[in-house]
Amino acid sequence: MTDSQPKQIRGIQFWAVSFCRSTLGFYEELAQTFDVPFCVCLAQAGIGARGDIGFTQAEFDHLDIIVTEDKAAATRALNAHGDWLQIFGTYQATPHIQSTLARALRQGAIVGIASEAPCNMEKPGLRRVAKKAYLKYALPHRVAAVIAGARFILNWSGDDAQSLVDLGWPREKIIPFGYFPPPLPGTTFRARNAASHIPFHILCSSALTWHRGPDLLIEALSLLKSWGVAFEASFTGTGPLEIEMRAQAEATALPVQFLGRVPMGDLIALYEGCSVFVAPGRQEPWGIRVNDALNAGAPTVVSRGMGAVKLIDDYSVGVSFEAGDATDLAWQLRWMATDRSRYLAVCNALITAQGAFLPRIAANRAALQIADILNLEHAL
């Protein structure tokens, strides 16, 4: 069958590393949009470290999950559904899944990829230099056969096509997208109003690591204080930058709380109650905590080094700042904290966009693009 001939798909088999909210809900909705059966093959069993902060496997129990922890199990799963569309959510790591992907291509299966764009998230230093060299010189050779054989790549990193083009992906195979997880279980969308300014509460929830940029927010908060802007701020999470950040906050008497790792219920309450959520990542493929905050009604300030800035660009539900620029971040926060009419305009945009970030809406959009690339004959 040539690419020009119309096709139908009999089912979809998704391949992923482990249980993950960021993808499994979307996979279910995508199969339902195509109105075909599906299953999810996981390379690892169990919920893992996510259970420490309140995630449970129960929310995925209704899915058809096949655990494929070794090459033999993965091969059996592929052979059971070899005539289905195969969408691999891992193609650069997990050796037994890589070999299964290679087998699927050899067998002539219809294969798609769902992956983040290559992104150097390591701390600065020699490790970062080495990883950049790996991404530029070694990785393109490792994945060349996959790029040649796969029909499309669903880009979890939003509109960042250039990173994939640099890796070797033709632009016509790239579907700009992003992550669209369901709201955190128990989340309520709480619209903001003028009272959200009193006091103006800034929330940052992430690991306190260099690539996620929480130290940039501390610098920005110091500037806000020097400008006379009234605020309070909270950080959740832990990491290697915590001692340095605490020292800087104490030295400048910033109204900041370091809450550490908080239970899921407390985290949701922070999302629902903050005036603005800040995602200051220097460079990240996406950042689903932005989705979690937006689904709770929180206006966001997002670094342009993060894929999730696509949500700000597409829906005007917050503002963005230049990656790594603490002064620009401070200006954007000052704008949100002191210009009430503009702040409320962002809040109103969030109300208008409510529901736009859900897996079902995202799946409808992705299905249309996949159907076009695969030249499917049935309408969606």
Whether residues 164 and 233 share a domain: the answer is no
Backbone angles phi, psi at 15, to 5 degrees: -120, 125
**Confidence band, pLDDT 50/70/90 cuts, at residue 2:** very low
How high is the pLDDT of residue 359?
Answer: 95
Residue 240 belongs to a domain with what CATH number? 3.40.50.2000
Whether residues 40 and 167 share a domain: the answer is yes
Whole-number Å distance between alpha carbons of 166 and 121: 17
Question: Would you say residue 379 lies in a domain?
Answer: no
Q: Please state, for a pLDDT cut of 70, what percent of the chain lies above it.
A: 97
Whether residues 207 and 177 share a domain: the answer is no
Question: Would you say residue 3 lies in a domain?
Answer: no
Q: What is the pLDDT of residues 325-343, one digit of tens each?
A: 999 999 999 999 999 999 9
Whether residues 222 and 311 share a domain: the answer is yes
How high is the pLDDT of residue 6?
Answer: 43
Whether residues 49 and 141 share a domain: the answer is yes
How high is the pLDDT of residue 309?
Answer: 97
**Confidence band, pLDDT 50/70/90 cuts, at residue 47:** confident
Q: What is the pLDDT of residues 206-226, one digit of tens each?
A: 999 999 999 999 999 999 999
Whether residues 140 and 223 share a domain: the answer is no
Whether residues 262 and 285 share a domain: the answer is yes
How high is the pLDDT of residue 335?
Answer: 94
Whether residues 28 and 172 share a domain: the answer is yes
Whether residues 231 and 178 share a domain: the answer is no
Q: Smallest Cα–Cα separation from 246: which of 215, 282, 201, 206?
A: 215
**Confidence band, pLDDT 50/70/90 cuts, at residue 8:** confident
Helix (H) / strand (E) containing 217 = helix 214-226
Please tell me whether the overall predicted TM-score, pTM, comes out greater than 0.75 for this model.
yes
Write out the residue range of the structural domain in which residue 338 sits: 194-353
Question: Would you say residue 189 lies in a domain?
Answer: no
Q: Smallest Cα–Cα separation from 89: which of 163, 177, 23, 30?
A: 23
Q: What average pLDDT does range 269-298 have in this prediction? A: 96
How high is the pLDDT of residue 373?
Answer: 94
Range with the lowest mean pLDDT among 29-38, 54-63, 186-195? 54-63
Our count of domains for the chain comes to: 2
Residue 1 has pLDDT above 70, yes or no: no
